């Protein structure tokens, strides 16, 4: 079953006002309900290479898995759903490729990337992230940050050195404590949440979250909510109007209708005799 009629997806990325080239990479696959955003870092064009590898690897691996797997089963060892497991494994694979490329190609030395990805399935969304690229959700008028940054600033907030409001205004927001390609292995943070009709999700690089207050992101969505394309473009424009000091990207999804997984004949038989 394609999710194209159930979830509307858009994505916009921009170089910004200061950087010479764009090291963000974004992609969506509305048929399988997959959104991916990566914010690369490294000298010359290496950040662009890292984010490109991350997004291409995750998109390709998950497409392959979705085509050949039954996503309705649980992973017995972890208790997690198959969508969450394949999302995590794809990011682990991307990390290894970026790490090996950085070590074998001198021009790519020191490159890395953050990533945030969402995979919709069976009225739920699996969310995976590494670094400070974020996901937000607007539901019934309430706008909230779904992911927590893997950054030095977030650690200081967690330990009580800053309030959330102070952190929003703090300098030096960009010291990430976790990224793809830096170490042979990386810890991917995973969560799975139920989805409701009308939900709006925003995946963004720190070029948006650093330049535009959460309240202004919320206001933009509620103002232009009927047109997701306009919302995404307006968010990019706001970041640039506020200085555009970094590449800025936004990938958005709006849940138009429920998308329960189609149960096979064996599922029905097991329920009858369960």
**Per-residue model confidence as pLDDT tens digits over 135-148:** 999 999 999 999 99
pLDDT band for 274, please (50, 70, 90 cuts): very low
Q: Which helix (H) or strand (E) holds 212?
A: none
- Alpha-helical regions (H) of the chain: 46-68, 82-104, 152-158, 164-169, 206-209, 214-224, 228-241, 265-273
| Candidate from 85-94, 211-220, 265-274 with smallest mean pLDDT | 265-274
pLDDT band for 1, please (50, 70, 90 cuts): confident
Distance CA 150, CA 203 (A): 15
Distance CA 53, CA 62 (A): 14
Is the pLDDT score of 211 beyond 90?
yes
The sign of the CA dihedral 264, 265, 271, 273 is negative
Please give the model's pTM, rounded to 2 decimal places. 0.90
Residue 44, token pair as written in the block:
């010359």
Which candidate, 236, 238, 233, places its Cα nearest to that of 248? 236
254-264: pLDDT as tens digits: 999 999 997 65
Is the pLDDT score of 269 beyond 50?
no
**Coil, strand or helix: which one is 78?**
coil
User: Exposed/middle/buried for 86, CB within 10 Å: 0-12, 13-18, 19+?
Assistant: buried
- Which structural domains are found in the chain, ordered by start? 7-273 (3.60.40.10)
- Give me the residues paired with residue 220 across strands: none
- Give me the residues paired with residue 14 across strands: 248
User: Exposed/middle/buried for 62, CB within 10 Å: 0-12, 13-18, 19+?
Assistant: buried
For range 194-216, the mean pLDDT: 96
Q: Which helix (H) or strand (E) holds 252?
A: strand 248-255
């Amino acid at each position: 079953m394609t999710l194209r009629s159930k979830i509307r997806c858009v994505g916009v990325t921009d170089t910004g006002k200061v950087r010479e080239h764009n090291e963000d990479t974004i992609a969506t696959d509305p048929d399988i309900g997959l959104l991916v955003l990566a914010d690369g870092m490294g000298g010359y064009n290496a950040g662009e290479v890292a984010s490109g590898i991350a997004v291409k690897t995750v998109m390709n691996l998950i497409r392959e898995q979705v085509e050949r797997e039954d996503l309705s089963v649980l992973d017995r060892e972890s208790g997690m759903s198959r969508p969450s497991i394949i999302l995590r494994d794809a990011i682990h694979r991307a990390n290894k490729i970026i790490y090996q490329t950085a070590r074998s190609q001198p021009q790519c030395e020191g490159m890395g990337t953050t990533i945030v990805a969402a995979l919709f399935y069976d009225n739920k969304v699996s969310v995976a992230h590494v670094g400070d690229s974020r996901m937000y959700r607007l539901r019934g008028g309430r706008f909230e940050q779904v992911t927590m940054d893997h950054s030095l600033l977030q650690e200081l907030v967690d330990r009580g050195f800053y309030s959330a409001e102070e952190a929003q205004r703090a300098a030096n927001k960009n010291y990430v404590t976790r990224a793809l390609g830096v170490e042979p292995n990386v810890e991917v943070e995973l969560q799975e949440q139920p989805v409701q009709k009308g939900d709006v999700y925003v995946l963004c690089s720190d070029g948006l979250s650093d330049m535009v207050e959460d309240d202004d992101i919320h206001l933009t969505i509620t103002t232009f909510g009927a047109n997701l394309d306009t919302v995404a473009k307006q968010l990019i424009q706001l970041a640039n109007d506020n200085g555009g000091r970094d590449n800025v990207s936004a990938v958005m999804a709006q849940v138009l209708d429920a998308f329960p997984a189609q149960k096979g004949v064996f599922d029905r038989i097991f329920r009858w005799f369960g």
